[in-house]
Amino acid sequence: DAGVIQSPRHEVTEMGQEVTLRCKPISGHNSLFWYRQTMMRGLELLIYFNNNVPIDDSGMPEDRFSAKMPNASFSTLKIQPSEPRDSAVYFCASRTGPHGYTFGSGTRLTVV
Partner 1 sequence: GEDVEQSLFLSVREGDSSVINCTYTDSSSTYLYWYKQEPGAGLQLLTYIFSNMDMKQDQRLTVLLNKKDKHLSLRIADTQTGDSAIYFCAENSGNTPLVFGKGTRLSVIA
Site for partner 1, rule CB under 8 A: 4, 31, 33, 42-43, 45, 48, 50, 56, 91, 93, 97-106
Are the C-beta atoms of residues 34 and 79 closer than 8 Å to each other? no
Distance, in Å, from the CA atom of 16 to the CA atom of 95, rounded to the nearest integer, reads 33
* Nearest distance in Å: CB 23, partner 1: 11
Distance, in Å, from the CA atom of 73 to the CA atom of 70, rounded to the nearest integer, reads 8
Residue 45 vs 72, nearer CB to partner 1: 45
Distance, in Å, from the CA atom of 81 to the CA atom of 17, rounded to the nearest integer, reads 5
* Nearest distance in Å: CB 67, partner 1: 14
Helix, strand or coil for residue 84? helix
Sign of CA dihedral 76, 90, 62, 31: positive
Residue 15 vs 55, nearer CB to partner 1: 55
* Nearest distance in Å: CB 105, partner 1: 5
* Nearest distance in Å: CB 39, partner 1: 9
Residue 44 vs 81, nearer CB to partner 1: 44
